[in-house]
Amino acid sequence: MNGKPLPLRKCVACNQMLPKDQLFRVVRIDGQAQVDLSYKAQGRGAYVCKNVDCIALAEKKRSFNRALKGTISEEVINKLKMELENGSR
């Protein structure tokens, strides 16, 4: 939008580097993982492509658990799927 290139981030499922607007960010704050739609939350973050395959793969491989060094609740995965369905503005 403003011509500034977006930083690339790696998807935890397919390991591709993508501009972060094509990825969902999950961040761990005080041991609690949550979806960070602002991309601005402080804390350890991990990214996954905005597509159902990568989210499913990340869930299956427990990629977020590894990336965030903690257990990611099913809620977080469900939230990602919901955001995807909503077309995540």
Q: Which residue has the tokens 């011509």?
A: 3
Q: How far apart are CA 40 and CA 7, in angstroms?
A: 13
Nearest to 49 by CA among 85, 13, 74: 13
**54 lines the binding site for Zn ion (CB under 5 A):** yes
> Which among 30-38, 43-51, 60-68, 75-83 is the span making contact with Zn ion, rule CB under 5 A?
43-51
Q: Which of 33, 46, 49, 76 binds Zn ion (CB under 5 A)?
A: 49
**23 lines the binding site for Zn ion (CB under 5 A):** no
Reduced to 3 states, what is the DSSP secondary structure of residue 81?
A: helix
**11 lines the binding site for Zn ion (CB under 5 A):** yes
> Which among 26-34, 36-44, 47-55, 81-89 is the span making contact with Zn ion, rule CB under 5 A?
47-55
Q: Which residues contact 85 (CB under 8 A, 6 or more apart)?
A: none
Residues within the interface to Zn ion (CB under 5 A): 11, 13-14, 49, 54
